[in-house]
Amino acid sequence: MTTFHAYDAVVVGAGGAGLRAALEASKQARIAVISKLYPTRSHTGAAQGGMCAALGNVEEDYPEWHAFDTVKGGDYLVDQPAAIVMAEEAVDAVIELEHWGFPFNRTPEGMIDQRRFGGHTRNHGEAPVRRACYAADRTGHMILQTLYQQCIRQNVRFFNEFYVLDLVFAEDGRVAGVVAYELSDGEMHVFRAKAVLFATGGFGKIFKVTSNAHTLTGDGLAVCYRRGIPLEDMEFFQFHPTGIYKMGILLSEAVRGEGGIMVNSEGERFMERYAPSIKDLAPRDMVSRAIYQEIKEGRGIDGQDYVYLDVRHLDPEVVETKLPDVTEFARIYLGVEPLREPVPIQPTAHYGMGGIPTDLEGRVVVGPEERPIPGLYAAGECACVSVHGANRLGTNSLLDIVVFGRRGGLHMGRFAAEEDLPDLPRHSEADIIDMLEGLKGSTGGETVAAIRAELQEQMMDLAGVVRTEDTLRTLKEALGVLRQRYADAVVQDKGKVFNTDLMEAVELGFLLEISDTLAAAALARDESRGGHYREDHPLRDDDHWLKHSLAYREPDGSIRLEHKDVKLGPYIPMERKY
Amino acid sequence: MADEDFAPPPPDLDSARGPTMAVSPRRTQTHGSAPQVARAVELTLKIRRYNPEVRTDPWWDEFTIQADPTERLLDALHQVKWYHDGTLALRRSCAHGICGSDAMLINGRNALACKVLVKDVAPKVTVEPIRGLPALKDLIVDMEPFFAGYRRVLPFLINEDEPPNRERRQSPAERERYDDTTKCILCAACTTSCPIYWGDDEYVGPAAIVNAHRFIFDSRDQGGDERLKVLAERTGVFKCRTVFNCTEACPRGIKVTKAIQEVKRAIMFDRL
């Protein structure tokens, strides 16, 4: 049986971007937040090191320096107006969180303390600058908690453990709502709404070694993509340099911000060769490639595929008080005592720079002409505004979610206050019921877990830190085979109560869609830029590729690519050296 | 803490538990093939199952798998779910102890399945849902009563003054005062390890008090009196009998019992 709801607007996802949008939109409109998790389980909570803003509390700093670093860090694929807005609004965003009770670490004078982070520099690259505001190494946890606390205070309505599986349009092309599946009893819900904001986070589970949660399966992107919305810049995926060996659990860049270094099998601080001015605090794409190169040239530890992260020269007090969680991760998951031993690390799939294309107000925009879809919004990792370009700087994701979550929520609240509630098409949930019944009724011999494991392995091997035309062509073929196998995937659980087996099958379908777009966009882009490194085309090619890619799903499931120009600004693209 | 300090579960809170409950035979059939592990150990998982669509009472299942000793117990549970029995239901997300989804009763103690390693429990481990909250399916419990307790303590900063243009000042010492209780991830491991909570569903429980403490001792907060009034009620902090289960259960290492004691003292001596 289907239950119908009506709200002015719904927010899909309850991480930092969704909660911040909900707080803003609920000032003007009646809204609901729909999340497949309890809000405090969202992956914003796993962010560790900090949130940058040019407060200038501990040394000279300006938003303009921050904007420049963001553009350069993104290898000039960043839309410069977005970077400027984000850097300028960062200061207010941090102060607002402080006023809401965020427990920032403090300077002796009682001001918000700041520390160094990768790619953030003073005066356009002179030296690392202390720009990251933080709460030990649980900054994301504190942002998630603080925003959730404010939602409780404002009586925001939550639908927890509801999976949004479809986006519904009215006949005139306006957004009309979403279709959701309630996990606890397997019932369908249709939420009629004037506006929908997707804030469903990332999709790191397309890769084998990732810092991402099991639940980061790109649901919002895939739901939009299946309804004709393009996905922007999907070829740009960030590998964070310091994941725990084999497990991928994140060890924050703050470790290096506090003075930790990386060394190879010869005990050499190899980043001195790759980025002489800022060394271990170079942007993540460069550091991950450096690790790849060290391993390739035989300087991995014991000839294996990892290097060391070393903090033994730091004051143990700093390690214990400013990096307590990552220290504990090393102890628990590796059995390594970081105060006495170096920690084995390798790059881990971390963040998708691409996503649902939006403008500065969070409106989803389609095509090179950026035509807005009335009532449709996106913010956070699932969106692409594009403020991270080809490579996101550390801390800028936490900033992105509060700045663009607020902007999206603000515009959506106004829109919803002025518009009428659109009529829903009849049986708007029918497609999803068919899909779920199809999955439950499959009698093929394939298992979801086996297909997913194969997908993650292929993506890691063929579209990871380094790609070539050959690997990407091989990947496209492999994805075709996996899609055929998916058609025969069996769901063992036929029940209605907490059928997580069924939802994992649905999520695998999302992962496959997203992997297709990544492979297609990566194959087309025959240059290297930021997180997209083509060994067969190792140089950046601004003449041809200073543009974003847009991947559309055709009715037969194939992909059509379009491109749109990067929005330039004060910063002229130049060679990226540190 | 020594083993003997651990409060045993109450004998009669749940009539379905106990030696009369049948254990299904060891399953050997598989569903697909699990990945091969280089230096695997054998692990038997004895899991307390419940599915209201199948039968009205809980039962035990046992699964024996090959697992990498350095893997998490969560990985072993996934292997069971993914390759042996897809109907097994559990919550999980981040898999490294920060999202708070996978609190379970593991060998009689509350812990996060993603922070327990296979090598620490092999060759056999017993996994049950956390206690004191209604089981809904297998290892999934109803979290609503838990979050209702949390909401009762007004878990948000209360400060009615016009905020300054910049940050409110707070000294490192003032910040340190409530540092420990900001670590809470609302996993419910503490609350559902508390024998008082098992027997009294009105009690707000340790996690709610931890979150009240986080604001009561924050120099920027003005809502302490209101929170202390809630916690001084019959359902509040004086229900605590200082059993210390909560402190032992906390996967974040929060000194939960100490926080509760500090809140008690704040009420008794009427000061923050």
Residue A150: closest C-alpha in chain B:
B156
Which tokens hold the place of B78?
A: 């996934």
What residues in A contact B96, CB-CB < 8 Å? Answer: 46, 247, 249, 329, 333
Cα separation, B200 vs A453, whole angstroms:
45
CB atoms within 10 A of CB A495: 18
Give B50→chain A minimum CA distance, Å.
11
What residues in B contact A215, CB-CB < 8 Å? Answer: 93
Q: What is the pLDDT of residues A175-196, one digit of tens each?
A: 999 999 999 999 999 999 999 9
Structure confidence at residue B201 (pLDDT) = 82
Of A138, A145, A332, the CB nearest to B115: A332
Cα separation, B129 vs B16, whole angstroms:
13
B86 touches chain A (CB under 8 A): yes
B36 touches chain A (CB under 8 A): no
Give B34→chain A minimum CA distance, Å.
8
Structure confidence at residue B34 (pLDDT) = 66
Helix axes of B206-216 and B224-232: crossing angle, nearest 10 degrees: 150
**Cβ neighbours of residue A86 under 8 Å, at least 6 residues apart?**
A67, A70, A387, A396, A399, A400, A403, A404
**Contact B172/A103, CB-based, under 8 Å?**
no
Of A41, A94, A104, the CB nearest to B99: A41
Specify the pairing of strand A31-35 against strand A157-160.
Answer: parallel
Residue B5 has pLDDT above 90, yes or no: no
Cα separation, A69 vs A72, whole angstroms:
5
Cα separation, A11 vs B218, whole angstroms:
31
- Using alpha carbons, list the distances in angstroms from residue A563 to A302, A476, A529, A552, A566: 44, 20, 16, 11, 9
- Helix, coil or strand: residue A343: strand
Of A38, A112, A215, the CB nearest to B167: A112
Structure confidence at residue B31 (pLDDT) = 60
Q: Which residue has the tokens 């697909």?
A: B32
Structure confidence at residue B270 (pLDDT) = 72
Mean pLDDT of chain B: 89
What residues in A contact B32, CB-CB < 8 Å? Answer: 446-447, 449-450
Of B100, B170, B221, the CB nearest to A40: B100
Omega before B123 within 30 of 0, i.e. cis: yes
Residue B272: pLDDT band with limits 50, 70, 90: low
Annotated catalytic residue within A20, A131, A256, A284: A284
Radius of gyration of the CA atoms of chain A, in A: 23
Structure confidence at residue B30 (pLDDT) = 56
Cα separation, B246 vs B242, whole angstroms:
9
B82 touches chain A (CB under 8 A): yes
Helix axes of A500-524 and A448-462: crossing angle, nearest 10 degrees: 20
Of B90, B100, B179, the CB nearest to A41: B100
Nearest to A128 by CA among A415, A393, A510: A393
Q: Collect the ranges in chain A with pLDDT lower than 70.
A: none
Cα separation, B250 vs B183, whole angstroms:
10
CB atoms within 10 A of CB A518: 28
B153 touches chain A (CB under 8 A): no
Nearest to A116 by CA among A275, A309, A253: A253
Give B62→chain A minimum CA distance, Å.
18
Residue B213 has pLDDT above 70, yes or no: yes
- Using alpha carbons, list the distances in angstroms from residue A117 to A67, A279, A398: 15, 12, 13
Predicted TM-score (pTM) of the model is 0.95
At residue A28's C-alpha, the angle toward residues A25 and A31, to 5°, is: 55
B232 touches chain A (CB under 8 A): no
Alpha helices of A373-529 — where are they, by DSSP H? Answer: 396-418, 430-441, 448-462, 469-487, 500-524
Q: Which residue has the tokens 């084995």?
A: A344
Cα separation, B148 vs A502, whole angstroms:
29
B183 touches chain A (CB under 8 A): yes
Which tokens hold the place of A45?
A: 């909570």
**Contact B92/A448, CB-based, under 8 Å?**
no
Q: What is the pLDDT of residues B162-212, one digit of tens each?
A: 999 999 999 999 999 999 999 999 999 999 999 999 999 899 999 999 999
Looking at residues B228-232, what average pLDDT do you find?
94
Which tokens hold the place of A458?
A: 């292929």
Residue B37: pLDDT band with limits 50, 70, 90: low
Nearest to A476 by CA among A443, A527, A515, A525: A515
Omega before A549 within 30 of 0, i.e. cis: no
**Contact B221/A101, CB-based, under 8 Å?**
yes
Q: What percentage of chain A's residues is helix, strand, coil (to nearest 5)?
A: 40, 25, 40
Cα separation, B241 vs B257, whole angstroms:
10
Q: Which residue has the tokens 């409780």?
A: A152
Phi, psi of A268 (to 5 degrees): -90, 140
Nearest to A229 by CA among A130, A367, A54: A367
Looking at residues B8-18, what average pLDDT do you find?
39
What residues in B contact A150, CB-CB < 8 Å? Answer: 156
**H or E segment to which residue B179 belongs:** none
Specify the pairing of strand A371-378 against strand A188-198.
Answer: parallel
Amino acid B94 reads: C
**Contact B185/A153, CB-based, under 8 Å?**
no
> In this predicted model, which residue has the larger pLDDT, A279 or B33?
A279
Paired with A383 in beta bridges are: A356
Residue B74, Cα to own-chain centre: how many angstroms? 15
**Contact A501/B171, CB-based, under 8 Å?**
no
Burial of A60 (0-12, 13-18, 19+ CB in 10 A): exposed
Give A150→chain B minimum CA distance, Å.
6
- Tell me whether residue A284 is one of the annotated catalytic residues: yes
Paired with A496 in beta bridges are: none
Structure confidence at residue B16 (pLDDT) = 38
Of A99, A109, A142, the CB nearest to B163: A99
Specify the pairing of strand A307-310 against strand A261-263.
Answer: antiparallel
- Using alpha carbons, list the distances in angstroms from residue B105 to B47, B130, B141, B146: 10, 5, 12, 16
